[in-house]
Structure formats: structure tokens, C-alpha cells
Structure 1
Amino acid sequence: MADGLNDARAMRVAEIVTDFRNLQHYIAQIRTSPTAEEYYLEGYALVRQCVAEGRSILAGPFSASSVPPSGNPEAEKAQLRSVILDASVRRFKSQRTYLRATAAMRWINARNAVLRGPRSHGRQAQLQAVDQSLRVELASITDERVEYSLRVQDAAQGKWLAEDPSLATIQQMIRR
């Protein structure tokens, strides 16, 4: 029996896809220009990895049902739920990639600030501290944090979240 929520589901698809598109746009805009000596440093390698991940997420095949529901409300409901799941997984992966990329960009900026500063005997220690800060920040980007950041943002904007997949469901889909 149709539950009358297909319009809400369709709106939710549009919201999630918009978030996904915005994240993909931000990831695609990331540009760095390391020197030959810097190219393989942790932060620069991470930026390249994140940009590649963003492209991979975007290029991934659509996993929801592509059978047209042909006016059947129950078929529409099933299809919209499937699209919400696929879009939520993509948005989650993009958010995680974006958080990692912004951590790498903070590392690049902090490293450049140290290198532009006065030459001192403590410069190596400062660079090591910047490296350690990146590692700590990356360790804090857990699936739970990513999911929480998305839910808080959605809730603050008053979005309908009743059928958003749980973190466990998203993790299960990623493992597939």
C-alpha cells in the first residue's frame, strides 16, 4: 500500500544528490603545485589520492534499480529508497574524501608557513609537528564522525531523514 511519502523521498534524493555534487565540485577544485622534492611528501600524496578517490566515486556505476516504476506507487517507493541508499553512500564517501583533502590542504598551508618563516634550528621540529598534526587529524576522520557531520548538517537544515540509511548500512554497501 502506498504511504504517500514518495514526494518526500524524491525531495530527499534531490537534497542528497545536491550535497554530493557540491562535495565533488570542491574536491575537483583542489590544486597543488609541489616541487619535485615535495611531490611524494605525505600531504601532497594524500591530495592526489583524494582527487583520484573523488573521480572514482563519481565514475562508479549506479547501484540502484533502473527499472522504470511505470506509475506504480509501490515500485516508485522501492526505486526512490534504492536511489536514496546509493546517493547516501556516494555522499558519505565524498564527505570522507573531502575531510581528508581539507586536512591535507591545512598540512600544506602549515608546512609552507613554517618554510616561509625565519630559518632556525627548530624548523625540522616544526615540520615534524605539522606532519604529526596531519596524522592526528586523519585518525579523527572516522566513519562515525563523517556520518555525524552529515546528519547534524541535515537536521539543522530541517531535512526529512526518516529513510536515510544507517551508518551500518552505508558501511555494508561500501564493503560490497
Structure 2
Amino acid sequence: MSDGLNDARAIRITEIVTDFRHLQYFLSQLRPTPTAEEYYLEGYSLLRQCTSEAHSILTTPFSVSAPAPGDDVERQKQQLRSVIVDAAVRRFQAQRVYLRAQAGLRWVNTRNSILRGQKQNASHLRALQEADDSLRQELRAITDECVESTLRNQDTAQGKWLAEDPTLAQIQQILMRR
């Protein structure tokens, strides 16, 4: 028994995958270039971690649900729902990585503006510590609730159909199983 929403589901998949593709494109462009002395600093380590996580999201196999018994339209409905959930989880992960990478890039820019091409010395210490503290504060603020809220507000503002998007609790359950 079809509910007539398969076209809306297909459009929603396209929207989510497009958002995911944009996030992945941004993340694929991360190319931090620290000096040997800077390599293990928190912000540069964070950017490397973000790059690794973005790659991991791409290599995670699609979680397929068993096809529903019944007619082709009902099977399509179940498949589309399954794709919406998988795509939404991947987009959520990519958004979380994106927000963390943005914080890391702000840290790099702040660090560069403090140092202005000079080697780090005692006169920079206080400002660099403040930049490190600011990065840690930003990272603490990037909670799952924050990520989910960012995505939902963006989708709502654009008038997208969200009726079958997974809830934050569902996304968290799926991520814990992976």
C-alpha cells in the first residue's frame, strides 16, 4: 500500500547527498602545512584527524536493510527510507567533522596572525595559549545536539521535507553500532 511519498523521499535523498558532497569536498581540500616543530600541535593534529574521519565516512559500507515483502512500490518505499537514514547519518558525521575542521582552521589563522611569520618566542606565549584555549572551547561546543540543530535549522529554513529524517537519538544509535 503506497503512501505516494516516494518522489518526496527521492528528492530528500538528493538534498542530503548534495549537502554531504559539499561537506566532503571542503574536507578533501584540508591540507595543513605545519612545520616540523608545529606538526604535533593541537590544531594541526585536529585537522589531520578531521581528514582521516572524512575519509572513514566515505569508506563505511552502506547499511542495507532487508527488502520489504510486498509490491514493488512498498519495496521502493523501504529502500528509499533506508537510504535517507544512511545518507542523513553520513551527512551528520560530515557536518560534525566540518565544524571541527573550521575550528581548527580558525586556530591556524589565529596562530599565523600572532606569529606573523616569526618563530615562536616568549612574547607570543600568552596569545598562543589563548588561541589553544579558544580552540578547546570551540570543540567542546560542538556537541551532537549542536550538529543536529545546525542541520535541522538549515533544512527547515530552506523548506525541505524532513518527515522521515532520523532523529538525533536514532543517528546516535546507528553510529554506536558502526
Q: Same fold (TM over 0.5)?
A: yes
Task: Rate the CA distance shift 1:68–1:55 in 2: closer, same or farther, 3 A.
Answer: farther
Q: Give the residue type in structure 2 aligned to 1:131.
A: D
Aligned match of 1:168: 169
**Cα RMSD over matched residues?**
2.0
Q: Distance in 1 between matches of 2:22 and 2:66?
A: 24
Consecutive unaligned residues of structure 2, counting only runs of 5 or more, are none
Distance apart, 1:164 and its partner CA:
0.4
Residue 148 of structure 2 corresponds to residue 147 of structure 1: yes
Q: Is the 8 A contact 1:69 1:76 kept in 2?
A: no
Q: What count of residue pairs does the alignment treat as equivalent?
A: 176
User: How is 1:13-162 mapped onto 2 (pairs within 5 angstroms)?
Assistant: 13-65=13-65, 72-116=72-116, 122-162=123-163
Task: Give the secondary-structure state (helix, strand or coil) at the position aligned to 2:2.
Answer: coil
Distance apart, 1:123 and its partner CA:
1.7
Q: Is the 8 A contact 2:67 2:78 kept in 1?
A: no
Q: Distance in 2 between matches of 1:89 and 1:147?
A: 10
**Greater mean alpha carbon deviation, residues 57-66 or residues 1-10:** 57-66
TM-score, structure 1 as length reference:
0.94
Task: Rate the CA distance shift 1:47–1:69 in 2: closer, same or farther, 3 A.
Answer: farther
Q: Is the 8 A contact 1:69 1:79 kept in 2?
A: no
Q: Is the 8 A contact 1:99 1:141 kept in 2?
A: yes
Q: Give the residue type in structure 1 aligned to 2:29.
A: Q
Q: Distance in 2 between matches of 1:29 and 1:52?
A: 12
